[in-house]
């Protein structure tokens, strides 16, 4: 097992701290040392210039699935030439009525080299 740590930081840059006024830009410092500028989604008064937490969550789910899929294929000697996913996350009220990412739909498109697996085999690989 492993741990994955990030540090998230934000500093007030406006005099007013009213909901409509405070800035949503902040920083993510990943355990690898990479610093990523982030913001809320524009629908929640973010800038739209940076990744938002919901996008990052969907990207993480998609990337984790892709990397696991590639590892399984490599171990089964199935050569993948290309992998693309158009993932979609859905922000909806959860059972308590609070907004949450309640579902992520993955739509990977994969190109194999040589003999591709059958549809049934491909389904099992996921």
**Does 39 lie in the same domain as 58?**
no
**Does 64 lie in the same domain as 111?**
yes
| CATH number assigned to the domain comprising residue 68 | 3.30.300.20
State the SS3 of the chain: CCCCCEEEECCCCCCCCCCCCCCCCEEEEECCCCEEEECCCHHHCCCCCCECHHHHHHHHHHHHHHHHHHHHHHHCCCCEEEEEECCEEEEEECCCCCEEEEEEECCEEEEECCCCCCHHHHHHHC
**Does 100 lie in the same domain as 57?**
yes
- Structural domain range at position 87: 52-126
**Does 40 lie in the same domain as 56?**
no
Average pLDDT across the chain, whole number: 95
pLDDT of the residue at 29? 98
Of 10-24, 70-84, 110-124, where does mean pLDDT reach its minimum? 110-124
Domain total of the chain: 2
pLDDT of the residue at 123? 84
**Does 46 lie in the same domain as 4?**
yes
**Does 60 lie in the same domain as 101?**
yes
Indicate the residue among 13, 36, 51 that finishes a domain. 51
**Does 26 lie in the same domain as 66?**
no
Segment 67-95, tens digit of pLDDT: 999 999 999 999 999 999 999 999 999 99
**Does 84 lie in the same domain as 32?**
no
Indicate the residue among 34, 51, 68 that finishes a domain. 51
**Does 47 lie in the same domain as 86?**
no
3 vs 113: CA distance, rounded Å: 34
Question: Which candidate, 54, 34, 38, 58, places its Cα nearest to that of 46?
Answer: 38
**Does 60 lie in the same domain as 122?**
yes
CA-to-CA separations, 84 to 1, 64, 70, in angstroms, rounded: 27, 13, 12
pLDDT of the residue at 53? 97
**What six digits make up the tokens of 91?**
């922000």
Segment 32-54, tens digit of pLDDT: 999 999 999 999 999 999 999 99
CB 26 within 8 A of CB 35: no
pLDDT band of 118, cuts 50, 70, 90 = confident
């Amino acid at each position: 097992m492993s741990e994955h740590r990030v540090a998230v930081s934000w500093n007030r840059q406006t005099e007013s701290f009213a909901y409509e006024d405070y800035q949503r830009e902040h920083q993510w410092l990943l355990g690898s040392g990479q610093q990523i500028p982030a913001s809320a989604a524009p629908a929640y008064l973010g800038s739209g210039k940076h990744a938002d937490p919901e996008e990052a969550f969907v990207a993480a789910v998609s990337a984790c699935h892709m990397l696991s899929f590639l590892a399984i294929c490599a171990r089964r000697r199935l050569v993948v030439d290309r992998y693309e996913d158009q993932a979609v996350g859905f922000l909806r009220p959860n059972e308590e009525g609070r907004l949450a990412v309640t579902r992520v739909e993955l739509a990977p498109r994969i190109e194999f080299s040589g003999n591709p697996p059958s549809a049934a085999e491909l389904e099992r690989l996921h």
